[in-house]
Structure 1
Amino acid sequence: MMISRAMGEERSGDGKVAAIPTIAEVHKPEPNHRPVLALLDPRPLTRESFSQLFRAATRDYVVLPLSGPEDLLDLRSDMAEDVKLVVLNIASRSISDKPVRDDIRVLRHNFRDCPIIILGDRTNGSQVTQAARQGINGYIPTTLTATVVKEALRLVRAGGIFLPAGALVDALTQLSTAPGELHANEDQGDHDNPAEGNAPSFTPRQQQVLAHLCRGDPNKVIAYELNMQESTVKVHIRQIMKKLKATNRTQAALYAMKLVGSSKA
């Protein structure tokens, strides 16, 4: 075949002419398809601060700071498809506040398969209850350290649910001591799912262990965090599983989350 370098053309034997790719075209980089973490925060200062934190914590994600769900909905369709994680900063507001509930509803409707994490200042049990009820994948208090935030993001990205242990203990305490609630015991009939029956009663130590189970912490971590022997942790877990009629620790955590999510506000 003949190549016309002056014209930048390639001529084949049948007379057809095709342009020779330029160096820029040959070495053109592939499009960036890294997943996107959308950070929604109406306040510029905190939005930029948390953006830097999340960039350091999730280097395999592109962090996209936006002011709210409306900006997220205005993204081009191809960019919106790359959004794989949404963090909504509600600051000092409660999850039960109507504007927050509306934002969560919009995100749930338009990003059904995308995990949603709430970033907030409040750490009480009612926040956890509301978060579980609305199907939130994680609640990160602003009181946590950067290291814990990184682990929380890792857990949610892996398909888990992150809720602060202290707030979970608070929620479980409220659930166990709620007036008029019947507590599960061995004299009651078996339930396929305790969340559909009466709430079992947990000791304060069991509540702490169960809170860590809900976070997916292994026995060694639970023992370290609660300053107890690993063998003692195992005993508490067996008792928790018995009360929840669960066959394994994962099932116990799921049942506990359903109990918290279905409890009265």
Structure 2
Amino acid sequence: MSSPTLHTTLGAHVYHEDVSHNGTILIIDERNLVSECIAHCVRTQRPHNQIINYTSILDCVASASGENDEALILFSIGSGAVCSETFLTALDNLSEAFPGAPIIIIADSEDATQILKSLDCGVRGYIPTSASLNVALEAINLVEVGGTFIPASSLTSSRKSILGRSDRRIFDIEQTFTARQAAVVEALRQGKANKIIAYELNMRESTVKVHVRNIMKKLRAKNRTEVAYITNSYVNSMI
């Protein structure tokens, strides 16, 4: 196999490998050194991918084309907050430019609230900078096949408050949910995205969203991640 070649365009560094599979991973970090380091780490472990790193959201959005709509995006925000207007605007711009691309956040914070808010915004993964490279690569693998990744440490830190609520919500899945809702619950437990759930259950994505809202309401859960946590706790208690 030939060595990768480096091309520079639009403030982005593009690495090409001469291999048959050419999935694209877009990396964004305003700090050039960090952006280069993430790109290097991912490229050395995933030589079959095309890796493009940017130091500007605008440059990344400007590069959008039909060919990379299905790319995976690693958006590194450092110590930034996911509830900031800057982050939300950037996320909207990326989602509009790359409608088919799952977005993974890389951030310094491991705060559970920040992680759950990012998932509520449609993010498909959250990798804290305290994680190892192997964990980060496995997170990418999971998201690529339709899953959602969050660090276990974030749930562990908020375990007491979540369990405090779930202990008061003893339920029977078969009695609490309809057959279709129970199927959606099982998919949520596996971290599947709405699009995947809709395909597997042969229903519209809008119908899946309605089911998810009703499930959250029945469990008094704030988001789909908490739904998975509560139902997993119930299933594990039955084993």
CA contact (8 A) 1:118 1:140 kept: yes
Matching residue of 1:204 = none
Where structure 2 has 5 or more consecutive residues not aligned to the other structure, the ranges are 1-17, 182-214
CA contact (8 A) 2:27 2:53 kept: yes
Aligned match for 1:195, one of 210, 216, 219: 216
Q: Does 1:38 align with 2:32?
A: no
Matching residue of 2:86 = 99
CA distance in 1, matches of 2:233, 2:163: 15
CA distance in 2, matches of 1:42, 1:54: 17
CA contact (8 A) 1:152 1:162 kept: yes
Matching residue of 1:145 = 132
Q: 1:76 to 1:84 in 2, by over 3 A?
A: closer
CA contact (8 A) 1:176 1:199 kept: no
Q: Does 1:124 align with 2:111?
A: yes
Q: Give the structure with higher Rg (CA).
A: 1
Q: 1:153 to 1:186 in 2, by over 3 A?
A: closer
CA contact (8 A) 2:77 2:105 kept: yes
Matching residue of 1:184 = 169
Where structure 1 has 5 or more consecutive residues not aligned to the other structure, the ranges are 1-29, 201-209, 215-236, 246-265
Deviations 1:1-30 (A, max 9, x none): xxxxxxxxxxxxxxxxxxxxxxxxxxxxx9
Matched residue type, 1:111? F
CA distance in 2, matches of 1:34, 1:239: 39
SS of the residue 2:219 aligns to: coil
Matching residue of 1:240 = 234
Deviations 1:113-163 (A, max 9, x none): 111000000001112211221111100110011111111111111111111
Tell me the CA shift for residue 104 of structure 1.
Answer: 0.8
CA contact (8 A) 2:61 2:93 kept: no
Tell me the CA shift for residue 107 of structure 1.
Answer: 1.1
CA distance in 2, matches of 1:183, 1:199: 11
CA distance in 2, matches of 1:191, 1:183: 18
Matched residue type, 2:88? R
Tell me the CA shift for residue 97 of structure 1.
Answer: 1.3
Q: Does 1:65 align with 2:53?
A: yes
Matching residue of 1:161 = 148
Matching residue of 2:207 = none
Matched residue type, 1:154? N
The aligned length equals 182
Tell me the CA shift for residue 190 of structure 1.
Answer: 1.7
Larger helix percent: 2
CA distance in 2, matches of 1:97, 1:122: 14
Q: 1:86 to 1:199 in 2, by over 3 A?
A: same
Matched residue type, 1:140? I
